[in-house]
Amino acid sequence: MLLAEVAAASAEIASASARLAKTRRLAILLNRVAADGDARLVAVTASWLSGELPQRQIGVGWAALRTLPPPATSATLTVADVDARFSRIGAVAGKGSRTARAGLVRDLFETATDAEQVFLRRLLSGELRQGALAGVMSDAIAEAAGIPAAEVRRAAMLAGALPTVAAAALTGGRPALAEFRLRAGRPVGPMLAQTASGVDDALQRLGGTAIFEAKLDGARVQIHRAGSAVSVYTRSLDDVTSRLPEVVAATLALPATDLIADAEAIALRPDGRPQRFQVTAARFGRKHPGDLEPLSVFFFDLLHLDGSDLLDLPTRDRLDALDALVPAARRVDRLVTADPAAAQNFLDRTLASGHEGVMAKSPSAPYEAGRRGSGWLKVKPVHTLDLVVLAVEWGSGRRTGTLSNIHLGARDPAGGFVMLGKTFKGMTDAMLAWQTERFTELAEGPTDGYVVRLRPEQVVEIAFDGVQGSTRYPGGMALRFARVVRYRDDKSPTEADTVDTVRALYERGG
């Protein structure tokens, strides 16, 4: 299978507006790949067209893609060849690795045609947004394999990886999908939550009664135990067992032989309040704990226990099983209520304890692994700041030709502005068109590569989840999950929020 065929299909899928058209084009390509009989290539192609690499991260970002060699005149690259090259690039390490990696990237792009270069650049930069999301890909796999879509989705839930399911379905059919079962040691996609505007909204959407749980400001983990063997996975299904010995020890202390559970790992201060999220996150980035802060673990759901799958049971039944297994001190705080005042009080107490907010869960909902189900709703306050746009970057992928990623600055009372991060989240097509025209007018001096420096005149309202410490920016802080709400033409830069306001949020742990 030539890379050119995948690149052409990707372009067609991106240009198709109808879900059915995207599904059919994906199915045609998947069948074409499967005709070669190589399950690995099916998985790779499904992964790429979902905008991901099977290798996850290979150390290639925008910096390595700023300047590319001229494209090749004929298509010679195969899917297998490119996949192998990605693996070689990702394996480069040690002294001189940046230069060596850059050389391998250049060699790859030298042998790629113009269309292939566009596809590879978007894939490697995370900008391959063509509408082939999990739902569309699941339907395409089902159509290509001639299998009911519900069976594909169920297998994907249990496998934790849709590309793996694609390979099984197209090379082994329904019998191969039947082999996917819930099994300790094989992570599954975590159930995700939708957003509610408040506890009243959550109660109404969940039918009047809800299970409210504290949303801890830690890191979600999925814990598997098979006898004395414990495995711990992140929400992205990375194995971090060796980095979290406290979680392993707490799991082995439970009176069970086999289990799969959802939990939160978090670093706590001596007074029980959470450390800054970065303190917890540091443990996930370090192969060995060393002298880093110890973690506590709090369980909040149970998917499997001693040979019995609990996925399809109502939330209340799974929690009954959890309560019988895990001591109260190791469980996330919980309240079952239909009273909005009681729910609000629970939210207020959770926020006062330094945590993010609450989760509202339907008592009757099953565990929808790998899906953003309507049975779970997250409720947490959203912070906003009025900041100034200091610079903007030229976009890529569907944003090619527009000024997209904006650099955000808070006003310094002593003069000037302090950068707090970048974002392109929340931008509509109309907003991109407007800001491209607006920022072209504000451009100041020569362009630094793909970064356009601006006169600090445009105020933008930014929503964010919190403030974290950062060595990347001069103020030592960065906004978490920043996204654009609207541009504030009614405000001047002198009315923007100050860095002191941001620092106060940071010191409060906000």
State the Cα–Cα distance between residues 358 and 303, nearest whole angstrom. Answer: 21
Binding residues are: 213, 220, 235, 264, 300, 372, 378
| Contact partners, residue 298, CB within 8 Å, separation at least 6 | 216, 218, 263, 264, 266, 330, 331, 332
Six-digit token string for 240: 């971090």
Which listed residue (22, 215, 380, 422) is catalytic?
215
In Å, what is the CA distance from 49 to each residue of 9, 29, 76, 134, 345?
A: 9, 10, 20, 10, 45
CB atoms within 10 A of CB 428: 9
State the Cα–Cα distance between residues 298 and 350, nearest whole angstrom. Answer: 15
CA pseudo-torsion sign 385, 389, 390, 391 = positive
Binding residues for ATP are: 213, 220, 235, 264, 300, 372, 378
425 is catalytic: no
Find, among 41, 44, 40, 39, the residue nearest to 54 by Cα: 44
State the Cα–Cα distance between residues 79 and 53, nearest whole angstrom. Answer: 12
Cβ atoms of residues 419 and 474 within 8 Å:
yes
Find, among 56, 55, 20, the residue nearest to 131 by Cα: 20
In Å, what is the CA distance from 509 to each residue of 219, 298, 473, 484, 496?
A: 16, 20, 18, 22, 22
Q: Where are the alpha helices (DSSP H) in 50-161?
A: 62-65, 79-91, 97-110, 114-125, 134-145, 149-159
Cβ atoms of residues 325 and 302 within 8 Å:
yes
Find, among 209, 232, 217, 229, the residue nearest to 269 by Cα: 217
The whole-angstrom distance between residue 291's C-alpha and the CA centroid of its chain comes to: 28
The whole-angstrom distance between residue 445's C-alpha and the CA centroid of its chain comes to: 36
Find, among 362, 292, 355, 302, the residue nearest to 330 by Cα: 302
Q: Catalytic positions, please?
A: 215
